[in-house]
Amino acid sequence: MAAARVLARGVRLGSYSIGRSRSLTFSGVQRRGIAACVDPSIGLTDEQKEFQKVAFDFAANEMAPHMAEWDQKEMFPVEAMRKAAQLGFGGIYVNPDVGGSGLSRLDTSIIFEALSTGCVSTTAYISIHNMCAWMIDTFGNNEQREKFCPDLCSMQKFASYCLTEPGSGSDAASLLTSAKLQGDHYILNGSKAFISGGGDTDVYVVMCRTGGKGPKGISCLVVEKGTPGLSFGKKEKKVGWNSQPTRAVIFEDCAVPVTNLLGAEGEGFNIAMKGLNGGRINIGELFHNFDLKPF
């Protein structure tokens, strides 16, 4: 039965066929062991319970049955993610005027926690994609928001977050990828490591150095796939998490229009950390899923 769902703030999260073959009532009675005494909907508003259920249903019906195949065959499940986007999960905390669902960070956590019961790896990528869409929505000007966000929210296009480099992981402020202004373009040189979605995604939110050493010399540029000078390393071998590719992203005299600068020069590190403030919560939520999974 198709049930049109209108969720928080009047945002339609789409239509979804609710599976009848299994009960998704989280009364606690249906789950076993210690986890059975925790009802994941306790303390949630009616709206939150509603979209939590939509996410649990999606996880059970559209992700869990395919998770093993996605992992074994290293498939990036584009179509499944686009279905998730039809429910509003492509831009959960992005503003509605550019196609987002306009929900809060708490609402977002509830959704990712539920989605991860279907596939942690895919949900982790969706959370990174959401983070990138939010960064463009929040720090971009209207032109940038209108250019990138609608396609990201519908997941017609996919995004990657590019901070880590071969020589800078935890110490991200020491990154070396340079962006030199030349006319109306920045010329990027350097490389990023371990980029989720790298090579398969369309929009790269890249932290790069436009100024001196340290965090204040870092800016944030949106680089589109197909830009000359942008290339990718080989797919990394991983244990699990294979439904999202991980590759190096390489810039060799890659000319990016100045109109793709998010915020002002020197604001990139702040933008990157604000993105991660939400991103870290989202990733943390993915690992609660064992307690929540309906048996």
Ligand X SMILES: Cc1cc2nc3c(=O)[nH]c(=O)nc-3n(C[C@H](O)[C@H](O)[C@H](O)COP(=O)(O)OP(=O)(O)OC[C@H]3O[C@@H](n4cnc5c(N)ncnc54)[C@H](O)[C@@H]3O)c2cc1C
**Interacting residue ranges for ligand X, rule: CB under 6 A:** 128, 160-164, 169-170, 194-196, 241, 246
Nearer residue to ligand X within complex by CB, 126 or 195: 195
Q: Least distance to ligand X from the beta carbon of 5, Å?
A: 30
Q: Residue 266, exposed/middle/buried by CB under 10 A (0-12, 13-18, 19+)?
A: middle
Q: Least distance to ligand X from the beta carbon of 136, Å?
A: 16
Q: Nearest CA to 285 among 129, 134, 122, 116?
A: 116
CA 213 to chain CA centroid, Å, is 29
Residues 6+ apart with CB under 8 A from 85: 91, 153, 154, 155
Q: What's the rounded Cα separation, in Å, for the pair 238 and 249?
A: 17
Nearest residue to ligand X, scored by beta-carbon proximity: 169
Q: What residues are paired with 216 via a beta bridge? A: none
Q: Least distance to ligand X from the beta carbon of 237, Å?
A: 11
Q: Least distance to ligand X from the beta carbon of 110, Å?
A: 23
Q: Least distance to ligand X from the beta carbon of 133, Å?
A: 14
Nearer residue to ligand X within complex by CB, 118 or 199: 199
Nearer residue to ligand X within complex by CB, 185 or 238: 238
Q: Least distance to ligand X from the beta carbon of 74, Å?
A: 13
Q: Could you give phi then psi for residue 248, rounded to 5 degrees?
A: -75, 145
Q: What's the rounded Cα separation, in Å, for the pair 74 and 92?
A: 26
Nearer residue to ligand X within complex by CB, 64 or 241: 241
Q: Least distance to ligand X from the beta carbon of 225, Å?
A: 15
Q: What's the rounded Cα separation, in Å, for the pair 36 and 285?
A: 18
Q: Nearest CA to 77 among 174, 68, 228?
A: 68
Q: Residue 44, exposed/middle/buried by CB under 10 A (0-12, 13-18, 19+)?
A: middle
Nearer residue to ligand X within complex by CB, 21 or 170: 170
Q: Is the dihedral of CA 88, 146, 196, 128 positive or negative?
A: negative
